[in-house]
Chain A
Amino acid sequence: MKLINITPNLVTSIISIVFGIFIFLKIPTEVEKPLLLFGQSSSEIDPKIVPAIISFMFFIFGLYTLFFEREDKSINVWPSFSKEMLLNVLVTIIFLFGYSLTFEPLGFVVSSFLLIFFLSNYMGNVNLKFVTLIAFIFPITVFFIFVNIMHVFLPAFPFLEMRIGNFLIM
């Protein structure tokens, strides 16, 4: 029943065309209108032009890809995935998502500790004690350098303030 060969380029081109139309339709609601300045528009380029050009590009090049490169042989194959690969990637993405969620609420050091600990163990081939040590030392060192030496900010542990002297360490 395979009438159409579903290649990546085909899918890409269709997404591109649809996206182009989507942008075009959204222009009226998503582009702020410029204030008039002394009777002339304060914006040199009509703000609607740039999104219009972009939607046009998506549409045209989507069509181009659809007609000319749908069957392109060179790099138009679906990647192959083993179940193991897929699982590893998905689990990692979930870990990363959890890391993002806990980055601020738990502070940089704690969330990084959790990430290193769980991910290293998941990847296997590690000594448990050593991992725990690294998971503790590394984030604290990075935190110290970034916050106290470079004077940039990483989220601190929010429940109590851990300082040595005047230096924030966690």
Chain B
Amino acid sequence: MLESFFNSFPLLLGSGNFLTIIFVIALGLLIGLFVGALPGLTTLMAMAIVLPISFFMDPLVGIPFLIGVYKGGIFGGSIPAILVSLPGTGASVATTFDGPPLTKMGKGRKALETALFSSVIADFSSDIVTILLIGPIALIALLIGPPELAAILFLSILIISSTSSGSVGKNMIMLAAGLFIAMIGQDPIAALSRFTFDVFELRAGVPLLPMLIGLFAIPEILINIETKAKEFVKTKLNLKKEEKLTWEEFLKLRKTILRSTVIGTTIGMIPGVGQVVAAFVGYAAAKNSSKTPEKFGKGELEGIAAPEAANNAVNGPTLVPLLTLGIPGDNITAILLGAFIAHGLRPGPELMSEQGSIVFAILLCMLIANILFLILGYFTMPLFSKVVTIKKSYLIPLTIIFAFAGSFVFRHNPADLYFLLFFGIFGYILKKLQFDVTPLVMAFILAPSLEYAFGQTLSLGDDNVLMYLLSERPIAALIIVSTPVITWKLFQRSKKLRDVATSLTSSQVKSR
């Protein structure tokens, strides 16, 4: 394998194509960035459209093109999340906690740049880890089966719920609500309808993107409309001297970025967990380790760096099952698989042994994509951040148009607009009553996978699941045993935080 690695360099540089490859990656990044920044247009869509074009290119040109679109798109979704609280995907939801407050303080550009640097550094690091450890990562992928996945997902939901702000009872009610909403529709294994009240539109369940946009973007919009203030951004700014990220501020973030990179890379190695969990766990971990956790959610740069780094660090290892075993982990890797196949390359054990240098060449292109993205991003971020300086009376209706268009094109189902509206009003009420919707969103996103993995485990364990776990799946057993311990510790820590918060509030009240 080492030989393949070293052979990949001449393959990449030697072919007359190198400049074309660079150009094509940059083009892909820009396309992905702009598509990702338009709410409702997903990276997946962009890749699917570009896919046939890449068919007619050389494999070492076509596939890096798709990878460029992929990386650009993943970051692109963070832009509307930070600027107008419009999450493009589940992964950008965690960015809507601290992004919009920063934007309203006039620090939009700072937030965008934080997101950019965190994302690129984490992505780059995890790509290097992927290249170095591609073999072991493939082995880990095989070790994680349904029981392990179920245990990990269950633990993740608990971790994220117990580190949410607010009272335990309210968080758990939110968790239950998320599970309920996820349950509506067909069950993931046998496709039996549950709680659809004979409404056909509910048979496919509650759609993810309209719900996310409803829960996060609409309340922001409504709150902004409450007061017909002129400017979206509160302070008066001199546009030319808009606040950039300073070197000192960046240095303060390095621990968070490192921690999130480790979290994201680890989660990336576990097939089936994904970016969303990484983002939320990264956020929860940063909040937990911070000395000033009450600042999270109010405009804390760490609150941007943490989820952004984590969700990008997932990218590298996610490709490993595809490249080494020929198994796509999610829809995006499935499109990459299609691209490989259309070029006559069959990812899998055969490709690694016979044409391993191509695989490494593509991984190297991922590194190049990161570097290019840093440069491209640095010049385009200021453009994006200027968007929110237009008058509120224009910005709000235009944001609404995007929210609706984005929700509609998710499934091309007009009923989704009503889902959007319903969750918008619901989210507004929850926000006003100071509920943290994180447990709801997490439960909604993870419940189907958890239920599926759990069902698979029951099937594999046949009559005696307990024996099965203990005898054949030690990893899962270990995780299950440590879950209560971890949860209890987190619960204690968050209780301490809340007591601090309560004493702060009551002392504030007293001093009035």
Contacts and interface: CB of A to CB of B under 8 A. Distances in A.
A150 B180 contact: no
A92 B175 CA distance: 29
Contacts of A103: 404, 408, 414, 417
B190 A54 contact: no
B379 interface: no
B294 to A, nearest CB: 11
B196 A30 contact: yes
A115 B194 contact: no
A152 interface: yes
A34 B187 CA distance: 11
Given A120-B393, A152-B409, A142 B401 contact: yes
B172 interface: yes
Contact of A44 (B167, B189, B230, B414): B189
A74 B227 contact: no
A42 B349 CA distance: 34
Given A43-B189, A57-B176, A124-B228, A12 B433 contact: yes
Contact of A85 (B179, B227, B424): B227
Given A30-B195, A47-B192, A146-B405, A65 B173 contact: yes
Interface residues of A, number: 70
Given A50-B451, A54-B183, A125-B230, A43 B176 contact: no
Interface stretch (B78-86, B325-333, B500-508): B500-508
A9 B412 contact: no
Contacts of B38: 145
Nearest to B509: A73
A132 B183 CA distance: 44
A126 B393 contact: yes
Given A54-B180, A64-B168, A8 B195 contact: no
B35 A150 contact: yes
A19 B402 CA distance: 34
Contacts of A68: 169
Given A124-B228, A154-B408, A115 B187 contact: no
A11 to B, nearest CB: 9
A65 B401 contact: no
Nearest to A85: B226
Given A12-B173, A26-B195, A120-B393, A47 B187 contact: yes
B170 A65 contact: yes
Contact of A34 (B176, B190, B196): B190
Contact of B187 (A50, A57, A131, A151): A50
A114 B293 CA distance: 44
B438 to A, nearest CB: 15
Contacts of A104: 414
Given A103-B408, A151-B49, A138 B401 contact: yes
A12 B194 contact: no
Contacts of B218: 96
B197 interface: yes
Contacts of A50: 179, 183, 187, 194, 451
Interface in B9-50: 35, 38, 40-41, 45-46, 49
Given A23-B180, A73-B505, A116-B397, A9 B167 contact: yes
B225 interface: yes
Interface of A: 8-9, 12-13, 16, 20, 23, 26, 30-34, 42-45, 47, 50-51, 53-54, 57-58, 61-62, 64-65, 68-69, 72-75, 79, 84-85, 88-89, 92-93, 96-97, 99-100, 103-104, 108, 112, 115-116, 119-120, 123-126, 131, 134, 138-139, 142, 145-146, 150-155
10 contacts: A8-B433, A32-B192, A50-B194, A65-B173, A73-B502, A84-B226, A92-B225, A119-B397, A139-B401, A145-B38
